[in-house]
Chain A
Amino acid sequence: MELWENGDPIRDEAAPDGPIETRWERRRFSAKLVNPANRRKLSVIVVGTGLAGGSAAATLAEAGYRVRSYCYQDSPRRAHSIAAQGGINAAKNYRNDGDSVYRLFYDTVKGGDFRARESNVYRLAEVSVNIIDQCVAQGVPFAREYGGLLDNRSFGGTQVSRTFYARGQTGQQLLLGAYQAMERQIAAGNIEMHARHEMLELIVVDGRARGIVVRDLVTGEITTDLADAVVLASGGYGNVFFLSTNAKGCNVTATWRAHRKGALFANPCYTQIHPTCIPESGTHQSKLTLMSESLRNDGRVWVPLSASDKRPPGDIPEDERDYYLERIYPSFGNLVPRDIASRAAKNVCDEGRGVGPGGLGVYLDFADAIERLGVKAVEAKYGNLFEMYQRITGEDPYQVPMRIYPAVHYTMGGLWVDYDLQSTIPGLFVIGEANFSDHGANRLGASALMQGLADGYFVLPNTINNYLAGGPFGDISDRPEVASALSSVESRVQKLLDVDGDRTVDSFHRELGHIMWEYCGMERTEEGLTKAIGLIRGLRDEFWTRVKVPGTGEQLNQNLEKAGRVADFFELAELMCIDALHRAESAGGHFRAESQTPDGEALRHDDEFSYVAAWAFSAEGRPTLHKEDLDFEYVHPSTRSYK
């Protein structure tokens, strides 16, 4: 039986045409407005309080809408955007090094391996400059030079310095900016905040997204919340791999529930494996920790030239080391994009030249940088990252090279949205990592923070007006769809508790993660993906007969929370494999072994696959594929070369 069906093509109806430089301006002008007095009559639910959700909630509340925000953490300040380290891109050209909005646009389309929409990416580059202004006005303490002006660093996949940063804690500082703007609106009564709540279902009435079902994670109470529009800013799904750089609570449930209610899910197979993470240390491992890619500015990546060389790194002479990134990619060297750096690390480890326990690691060496700049300068730039590394591994990176290995970090796929960031369900908007829109098949470093804040501060608050201008959409509290959404959540929670089997939720999650890493990770094959789908289905059946969730639904029950998330990961995992199977080309973070150049580089097939794969849910497990063709009017698709 075929694993999927082919459906009708889909188009982005909201996208303006004409010159790319004026598309966003023209869309803003053509979008309907809501007058300030009417905004108070309109309510918006925002799920998630990271960079996208936090900035959107604050901005919508400032505009006068009634906002209700939800997060599963105990405070909106803890969303996982807080862990982003390296920086945020913006086309300010403060370095006078040839940067421009057009160049950021060009780099991002190319970096995404020509699988993103030009219109969206241009808009992202355009508003990037406003983000920096906004954050500075909020008091975000970006790094500065002695003259008092903002400092920049360079990042993978670019040849200009356009990355603004706050030591290795840029995400934290940007998130606290958005959080503080939110708290100001909470105090003003414009945002009602619900921390320790989790969205478990989307409510759709008359074809519109009109609310959500949430569970209070402290009391276990399950309730509905109804509004005029729903915004999902619930992040990515990297935790389907169990081990990833995501926070433990990150999950796909909000977007997956919306998918099941009719929102198309786009490009689920595009996952980013980050090259510079701390390698696994044992079976107890519960997550992986990223070391900012900014380290590749000054650190040099190498492995021993010979697989048999087991000497400590300091004893290996210069001419017996292989600085393989510098060797293979002389013009970008250690700063090649993430997908390329990750696969190169996998290749040298597959050759048996990996270092550390299990041979799953490569060196990231700062000896040259320390000699050139001095310990003090290196400490000023990377001090907190070095500390973090030492804390986790017990090794001092000032003395011995770091060991790094790739880990799942970011998911480019997500719910399909149009130019207005609206999903295929009217009234359901999706922003930040939760949508698929701007990064194509691979995201460049320091672009996630840019996209999250672009969506939340500047894009959504403009485009959502066009939808809300048609509201308020009327009282639906008595509609049967609301009651049935509530009861479906209640029965699902009860079902998880009733299995009462003999395996823990984590044991299933770990096993699912192994399957995904093995067959849907850095390298994918038709054979492996087909096998994975069978394994996932088998494991999912086992989950529903053997999982043991202790406790009850009417209390703080962290295993019940996890069980619901893992149940949704099973369904997502299957779709990821189907998407990866159908895309018989290599593009960005998706590398199909069958599609590579003679020297092992990713080989795209633009004639067949220059489209967004948007999937419709099927209860029978046969999703329908809707293709959105990608047109490239400005940046002509070429083979990405960083050599």
Chain B
Amino acid sequence: MDIQVRVWRQDGPSDKGRMVSYDVKDISPDASFLEMLDVLNEKLILDGDDPVAFDHDCREGICGMCGMMINGVAHGPERATTTCQLHMRHFSDGDVIDVEPWRAAAFPVIKDLVVDRGAFDSIIQAGGYISAPTGTAPDAHATPVPKADADAAFEAATCIGCGACVAACPNGSSMLFTAAKVSHLGLLPQGQPERDSRVLDMIAAQDEAGFGGCTNAGECTTVCPKGIPLTLIGRLNADYRNALRKG
């Protein structure tokens, strides 16, 4: 199939940036979206042009490195799918496809489609962990965990930190990302001792990193490649209120 992509080109953080059109011919419907960009880049290089910079690594939907706005939707038209797992069979011959980077105050553009998501790490640093230094653990069976809690914790823990939630949010909020980690750890008995400080510190960190506030728009969960549910934000808010009340 033949398509046209209109790609955001930006040389560096201070460059203003612009959309540039490219024709991509003879793409297999079985190619992934990133493989389509690979084909484009091979051509650009041989033509003496600057290839499009984009982040990617595992190309199997788990590392969270890839991510771009495709026709205005984070990770493109397929639900619960990362950009690397999106295949060209979901597009039609002759389509014109817009490709842009995540746009959020807390994710500055580095080049083209590559953004800096270091702010996510700073949220985890504020409390997205259980303090269990190596060697201190009791036997794994010392504390049984009800299966329902373990399963719910797992579902929350499947977040890949790609940033689609932030990119889709009209406020550029990281609430779903933070809520996923607060819920994962807060649902487990091991996570209880730090439960209050964790939620307070992580919320403070996300504010400080320049993420916007949450107004329950729900765009985040719609684009989340792992289907992290919006209910976790409610859960986070409850935890936050409880922690505040305890002072």
Contact = CB atoms under 8 A, between A and B. Distances in A.
Interface of A: 55, 58-59, 62, 73-78, 80, 82-83, 92, 94, 130, 132-139, 141-150, 166-167, 169, 172-173, 176, 179-181, 183-184, 186-187, 193, 195, 218, 245, 247-249, 281-282, 284-287, 289-290, 387-388, 391-392, 394, 457-458, 461, 502, 504, 506-507, 548, 550-551, 555-556, 558-559
A141 B157 contact: yes
Given A183-B124, A388-B60, 12 more contacts: A74-B116, A80-B63, A132-B140, A139-B130, A143-B154, A144-B145, A147-B144, A173-B154, A248-B59, A249-B57, A284-B39, A290-B60
A138 B30 contact: no
28 contacts: A58-B134, A74-B116, A74-B118, A78-B58, A82-B62, A130-B135, A133-B137, A137-B132, A142-B150, A147-B144, A184-B131, A193-B121, A195-B118, A248-B57, A281-B28, A281-B31, A284-B28, A284-B31, A284-B35, A286-B32, A286-B38, A289-B59, A504-B45, A506-B42, A548-B46, A550-B44, A550-B50, A556-B110
Interface stretch (B168-176, B182-190, B214-222, B238-246): B182-190
Contacts of B126: 187
Contacts of A130: 135, 137
A289 B60 contact: yes
Contacts of B28: 281-282, 284
B247 interface: no
A183 B46 contact: no
Contacts of B101: none
Nearest to B129: A180
B209 interface: no
A4 B65 CA distance: 41
A146 B147 contact: yes
A244 to B, nearest CB: 11
Query: Among the interface residues B51, B80, B125, which one has the most CB atoms of the partner chain A within 10 A?
Result: B125
Contact of B58 (A80, A137, A167, A457): A80
Contacts of A457: 134
B154 A138 contact: no
Judged by DSSP, the binding face of B is loop
Contacts of B157: 141, 166, 173, 176
Contact of A218 (B50, B110, B130, B154): B110
A551 B55 contact: no
A593 to B, nearest CB: 32
Interface string B130-165: 111111111111011111001101100110110000
B132 A134 contact: yes
Interface in B12-28: 12, 27-28
A75 B57 CA distance: 12
Given A59-B134, A141-B184, A144-B150, A394 B125 contact: no
Nearest to A456: B134
A75 B120 contact: yes
Contact of B57 (A247, A285, A507): A247
A255 B66 CA distance: 26
Contacts of A92: 140
Contacts of B184: 139, 141
Interface of B: 12, 27-28, 30-32, 34-36, 38-39, 42, 44-46, 48-51, 53, 55-65, 78, 80-81, 85, 87, 89, 110-111, 114, 116-118, 120-121, 124-126, 128-141, 143-147, 150-151, 153-154, 157-158, 160-161, 184-185, 188, 190-191
Given A83-B63, A286-B34, A391 B132 contact: no
Contacts of A248: 56-59
A556 B116 CA distance: 12
B138 A506 contact: no
A134 B134 contact: yes
Given A137-B137, A388-B61, A186 B116 contact: no
Contacts of A169: 62, 158
A92 B142 CA distance: 13
Contacts of B46: 502, 504, 548
A137 B188 contact: no
Contact of B59 (A73, A135, A286): A286
Given A183-B124, A391-B87, A556 B64 contact: no
Contacts of A58: 134
A173 B157 CA distance: 7
Which of B132, B138, B139 has the most CB atoms of chain A within a 10 A radius of its CB?
Answer: B132
B229 to A, nearest CB: 16
> Which among B51, B63, B144, B151 has the highest number of chain A CB atoms within 10 Å?
B63
B130 A180 contact: yes
Contact of B141 (A149, A281, A392): A149
A74 B140 contact: no
Contacts of A176: 157
Nearest to B57: A247
Contacts of A387: 80
A507 B65 CA distance: 24
A141 B188 contact: yes
Given A58-B134, A249-B57, A281-B28, A136 B140 contact: yes
Contact of B12 (A172, A247, A504, A555): A555
A487 B40 CA distance: 34
Contact of A184 (B34, B129, B158): B129
Given A75-B118, A82-B58, A148-B146, A550 B30 contact: no
